Structure 1
Amino acid sequence: MVSDSSKGGGVKSDETLCALLEEIRESDGIRLTELANNMSLAKSSVHNHLSTMRSHGFVVKRNGEYHLGLEFFKYGQYTRNAQEIYSAAFPVLDDIAAETGETTWLMTHENGRLMYLDGRDPNNEININILIGSWEHMHANSGGKVILAHLPKGEVDEIIEHHGLPKMTDKTITDRKTLKKELKQIREQGYALNLGEGLREMHAVAVPLISQDTVEGALAVAGPTYRVSRERCEGELFERLRAAADDIGLSLIY
């Protein structure tokens, strides 16, 4: 539902358009009448928005249902390719995944959330493409925590205030004081662990990708607990990630 007044001083029509797109995405195909009812909007108004988006390729109609169009893919590709860490890290992802035998992720952050930019799974245990481009809370992810550890304290406070510390599993850190204590340790040791905090039975280790004293993203290796123990995370996997991060850091500079 779209409220009568937009939040944060935004333009109401833009807020409506964004809400419609999100509803279409979540529905994975929806008819006009259902979309209007879900949004508590007039059918004619929704139809006008859809007509405009269809003319620009952002929405398509198939079998009477509206879906997001491929025009978004063009913008998504442009946005990812514009990330300097993507260009710098892309060549090493295959190598890390092949050498470790585990899923390797490249992540970045924006507006207090973590996004998977790219990934490799040498075991084909998960569908990488489903996760690429998705958002995660930073406090329950090794990549997110290692990024938080290298952000200014004021920015970390703002992120926690805005996004909270929701519980994902029984091991998720949900206390601000506990999280800040761990972030201090992460800064000192150079890596972050995720020991079942985001998903049960999954472990991960991540290192920061830093360019000119600014954290641009994170590189992580993740896998099931029976293969990826804490000891392996803090030993072999960390060392491999640290070497890769050093190479990527040089690429970002030169």
Structure 2
Amino acid sequence: METEGNGGRSVKSNETLFSIIESLKERDVAGVTELADQLGLAKSTVHKHLVSLEQHRYVVNEGGQYRLGLEFFNTGIHVRNQYEVYHAAKERIDRLARETDEAAWLIVHENGLGMFVYGVPRNESFSFDSTIGTWVYLHANSAGKAILAHLPDEEVAAVLDRHGLPAQTENTITDEDELFDELEATRERGYAMNFQEDLRGLHAIATPIIRDGRPVAAVTVAGAANRLTEERIESDVYESLLEAVDDIELRLVYG
């Protein structure tokens, strides 16, 4: 890490700030000494950053114990509202969940990862509160594979160079050639499938939302493996999903 000159000190200070935020996220609540010991930092350094975060409402000090503040929530909602695809998809995803009686989700990709930005849980397939805002690896997720399948090969390669192909379950694709074969099959089918690749006991199907020739997001339907079978996906769920994505793409064009 760069440590010399004003720019170097600024970068190091930023890294320290983010490490404190991530540590608070993991621990929910912590004091200055606990954070300093965990991160190997001086207590004065940790305290200085916490005071600054508190002044900007990003942390709350409750008797010397700090937790993340609602300003992060405010910022996150603002970011989500900037995505046109969120506004175009929200109502249609609600309807898709009712039609399929399964969980339906909107996943947007940034920096080589996917995030659940909106969803409707059904049949307790997902915990809504713990899923919204969650990052996922694109290669191990149906929505992620739907997105990757419609990106140029060099962009897919860049994602793999950055994030690798970590296994989430024993069914996750961890071989690059196998993944490219799966992406080709996804394009031919018109949808991506996930058979217990990121979560055991869960199946999912996804189709990308294309705008100006590029995938801006994907819609996925997910449910218990014994209920959302391959046969049901092909005979029933796929058509509902495709209709939903077609409607969303039209809304993106015509508003």
Q: Same fold (TM over 0.5)?
A: yes
Gapped regions of structure 2 (runs ≥ 5): none
Instruction: Work out the CA distance in 2 between the residues paired with 1:247 and 1:4.
Output: 49
Code of the residue aligned with 2:57 in structure 1: it is G
Instruction: Tell whether 2:199 aligns with 1:223.
Output: no
Q: Take 1:211 and 1:60, find their aligned partners in 2: how far apart are those partners?
A: 41
Corresponding letter in the other structure for 1:37 = D
Amino acid at match of 1:21: I
Write the deviation string for residues 129-169 of structure 1: whole angstroms up to 9, x where unpaired: 21101101111100000000011111100111110111111
User: What is the letter of the counterpart of residue 92 of structure 1?
Assistant: R
Shift of 1:214: 1.1
Identity %: 46
Gaps of 5+ in 1: none
Letter of the structure 2 residue corresponding to residue 216 of structure 1: V
* CA–CA distance in structure 2, aligned partners of residues 190 and 198 of structure 1: 21
- TM-score, normalised relative to structure 1: 0.95
Distance 1:221 1:108 in 2: 15
- Count of residue pairs the alignment pairs up: 250
Q: Quick one: distance in 2 between partners of 1:152 and 1:5?
A: 37
- Partners of 1:27 and 1:36 in 2: CA distance: 13
Question: SS of 1:11's equivalent?
Answer: helix
1:201 corresponds to: 201
> In 2, distance between residues paired with 1:46 and 1:169?
37
1:223/1:125 CA distance change after superposition, 3 Å:
closer
- Partners of 2:20 and 2:71 in 1: CA distance: 16
What is the identity, as a one-letter code, of the residue corresponding to 1:163? Answer: H
2:125–2:224 Cα contact (<8 Å) kept: no
2:100 aligned with 1:100: yes
SS in 2 for 1:107: strand
Q: Distance in 2 between matches of 1:155 and 1:63?
A: 48
Distance 1:17 1:107 in 2: 28
Q: Which amino acid aligns with 1:194?
A: N
Residue type at the aligned position of 2:220: A
Report whether the alignment pairs 1:36 with 2:22: no
Counterpart secondary structure, 1:109: strand
Which residue in the other structure is 1:19 paired with? Answer: 19
* Residue of structure 2 equivalent to 1:247: 247
Alignment partners' CA distance in 1, 2:153 and 2:121 = 34
